[in-house]
A and B are shown apart, each in its own frame.
Chain A
Amino acid sequence: MTNSHSPIAEMSIRAATPLALLISAYLLFAGHNNPGGGFAAGLVLGAVVTLRTLAGLQEPTYATALLVSGVLIVIVVAIAPLLWGDPLLDMAVISIRAPILGTIKSGSALPFDVGVTAIVVGLIVALLDGLSDPETSDPAGRGNLERNS
C-alpha cells in the first residue's frame, strides 16, 4: 500500500496534519453549539491518519488501545452520575470561558464526545490495519454473494 512515495504528496500531508488536528479539535469543542461533535472530529482525524498511512508516514497501530479507552471513557461518563444518585447518563453542565470559542456551556458531554472520537479513530485505524494486509487473497464469502439462484 505504501508504494506511492511521492515527495510532494508526502510533504503536503505532513503540512496538512497540524491543520487537520486543529480542525478536529475545533469540531470536538464546537459541537455543542455549532455543527460538529465527536463523530465528525473522529472522522477528520481518521482521514488524516488514513492519508498519513497511505503516504507511508506511519503504521496503523494502537487501534485496540484507542477502542478500549474510548469505550471506557463513554462508560465512565454513563455510570458516573449513578454515584451521585442521578440517573444513568445524566449529563452535568458547566460553563467555561474559553478563548476563540467564547463562553461555552459544556460538561460531561465533552468527555463523552472525546470517547466517541477515540472510537471512530480506532475504527479507521483498524480498517487501515486490515486492508494493509500484505496478502491480497480473495476474502471468502464473495462467492456466496455473487452466486446466482
Chain B
Amino acid sequence: MSALVALTIVGPLVGAALGLALRRNSQLRDIAALLGIGSAAVGSFALLSQVSANGTTVVRVGGWAPELGIILVADLFAVLVLPIALAIIFVVEIFAIGQRRTAWGANPELAGPLLGILTSGVSLAMLTGDLFTLFVAFELILVSSYVLLTHQGQAAQIQAGMTYVVMNLFASTLFLFGLGFIYAATGTVNIALVAERIHDLPDGVRLGLGSWFLIVFGTKAAIFPLFSWLPDSYPTAPTTITAVFAGLLTKIGIYAMIRLHTLTSMEELGPVMLVIAGATMIIGAIGALAQSDVKRILSFHIISQVGYMLMGLALFSEAGLTGAILFLVHHMPVKTVLFLVGGLIANAEGSSRLRYTGGLAKRSPLIAALFAIPALSLAGIPPFSGFVAKLAVIRAGIEANSTPIVVAALIAGVLTLLSMAKIWLGVFWGPSVDRSDHNHPVSGPPGNRRTMYAATSLAVAGTLAISVMAGPLFDLSERAGAGLRSPSAYIEAVNP
C-alpha cells in the first residue's frame, strides 16, 4: 500500500528523469515517459480498489509522526479522483507521441518528461495530508505546466504564459501567507490536525482562513472573478498540453477546496460561495458564446463547469458534495477529450477558428462522432455522465431550496447548449471552407494520425465507461463525500 502511494508520486518522476536522459533516442524516451506515467496510473487504480475495500491508507513519509513530518493520506476522495487524472495524462501522452511536432504539437523531447513531472505533482496534490506539501505540489504543477505552455517559444505563448504564471504565482504567494496564518493559528500545517483544531479558533479567524483559501484555491480553480488567466493562456498552448490543462489544472483547485473546506466545515461561507458559483457558471458560459475559436469556446466552458462543482460544494449538504465529486470525476475526462478532438479538428482543417472550418461531418464522420459524445456529455444531455452529474447537483440545489442557484445552473445549461451548437454548426456543418485564402498552414507534418485517433477514441471510450458506471461512481462519490463531511474519521486515520 505504502509502495503504491510512493509509486504514483515517484514513478512519473523517474520516467521524466530517464526520459530527459534519453532524449536523443525518441523511442526509449517515449517509453520511459509512458512507463513512468502508466505505472502511476496503474498504481492509482490499484489504490482505488484497495482503499474502497479496506479504508483510508496513511503513509508517514520518513516514518515521522503527523505533528513533525509529512503524511500522505490515500482516502477514498483522493483515490477516486486520482486514477482518472492519471489515466487522462497517460492518454494525452499517447496522443502527444502520435502528434509529433506539428504546427500545433508539443516538442516531444520535453512534453513527455514534463508531463511526468506534472503527473507527480498531481499525485502529490491529491494524496498529501499536509498543506505545505500541497503548496509544493501546486508549484510542481505550476512550473511544469508553465514550461509546457511556453517551451516552443512562440510570442503568443510566452505572452499568454506571462499572464498564466504571474497570476498563479500571485496565488502561490497568497497560499504562503495563508500557510503562515494557519501555522500561527493552529501550530500545524497537517490537514487533519488543522481540521481538529480549527474549531477552537474564534469564528473570525476560522472564516478568515476559509475565505482566504477560497481565493487561493479559487484562483487555481478559475472561479469568478479570478479566472482571467485561463482563457488567455490555454488556447495558445499545443493541443496536447491544453488537453491536460483543461482536464486537470482547475480541477486540482476545486479538489483542494472540496477537501479543505469540507474537512473544516466552512458552512458559513456557503452563501458567498453560491453567489460566486452562479457568477462563475453564467459568465463562463457567456464567455464561451463570445468566442469564435473552438479552443477558446472550450476554455470558457471549463470555467462555467467549475461553477457547477463549486455549487455542489457550496451547498454543504451530502447530496451537494456527492454531486460536486461526481461532477469532478465526470468533467476531467470529458474536457480532455474535447480538447483532443479540438486538436483533431485543427489537424484536419488547418485551424480551430470557426471562420476557417466547415463541413467536417461529411469529410470526417469519425471526428464528428468523437466530438459529439463528449460535447453532449458536457452539455448535460442523457445518457452521458454529464447528465448524471448535472442532475445530482441540481437535485441537491432543489433539495436545499436554493432556487436562485438552480435557475443560474439552468440558464448556464442553455448557454452551454448554444455554444456547443455554435461549434457544431461552425465546424461540422455548412459548406467546406476554401482553405486557400487564409494563412494558417494546413501543411506541416501531419503526425501519426492513427495514434492520435486511437488515443482520442480510447479517451471517448473512457468517458462512455464513466457514463455506464455512473451508478457505482455515484456510490463512491457519496462515500468519499461522507468521509470528508465527518472529519473525525479522517483525523482518526491520520493520528490514531
Contact = CB atoms under 8 A, between A and B. Distances in A.
Interface in A66-114: 67-68, 71-72, 75, 78-79, 82, 86-91
Contact of A87 (B14, B16, B61): B61
A54 to B, nearest CB: 25
A67 B18 CA distance: 11
B454 interface: no
Contacts of A78: 6, 10
Given A75-B17, A88-B6, A140 B60 contact: no
B62 A87 contact: yes
Contact of B2 (A68, A71, A87, A143): A87
B6 A141 contact: no
B13 interface: yes
Interface string A20-34: 000000000000000
A78 B161 CA distance: 32
Nearest to B117: A71
A88 B61 contact: yes
B2 A145 contact: no
Nearest to B166: A145
B495 interface: no
- Binding site of B, secondary structure by majority: helix, strand, loop or mixed? helix
Contacts of B10: 75, 78-79, 88
A87 B63 contact: yes
B161 A89 contact: no
Contacts of B17: 68, 71-72, 75
A64 interface: yes
A144 interface: yes
Contact of B59 (A64, A87, A142): A87
Contacts of B158: 139-141
User: Which size class do A's interface residues fall under?
Assistant: 20 to 34
B258 to A, nearest CB: 25
A90 B63 CA distance: 6
A145 B159 CA distance: 9
A68 B21 contact: yes
Contacts of A144: 159, 162-163
Interface range on chain B (Cβ under 8 Å from partner): 20 to 34
B162 A145 contact: yes
Given A68-B17, A145-B166, A88 B159 contact: no
A141 B158 CA distance: 6
B155 interface: yes
Contacts of B272: none
Contacts of B16: 71
Interface string A118-149: 00000000000000000000011111110000
Nearest to A79: B10
Interface string B151-183: 000011011011100100000000000000000
B3 interface: yes
Contact of A89 (B20, B61, B162): B61
Contacts of A87: 2, 59-63
A79 B61 CA distance: 11
Interface in B340-397: none
A88 B59 contact: yes
A75 B12 CA distance: 11
A82 B6 contact: yes
Nearest to B156: A140
Contacts of A86: 63
Contact of A67 (B20, B155, B163, B166): B20
A46 to B, nearest CB: 19
Nearest to A86: B63
Given A88-B2, A140-B155, A142-B162, 10 more contacts: A64-B20, A71-B16, A75-B10, A75-B17, A89-B61, A90-B63, A140-B158, A140-B159, A141-B155, A144-B163
Which 8 A/B pairs are nearest by Cβ-Cβ distance?
Answer: A141-B162, A140-B155, A141-B158, A88-B6, A140-B158, A71-B17, A141-B159, A89-B62
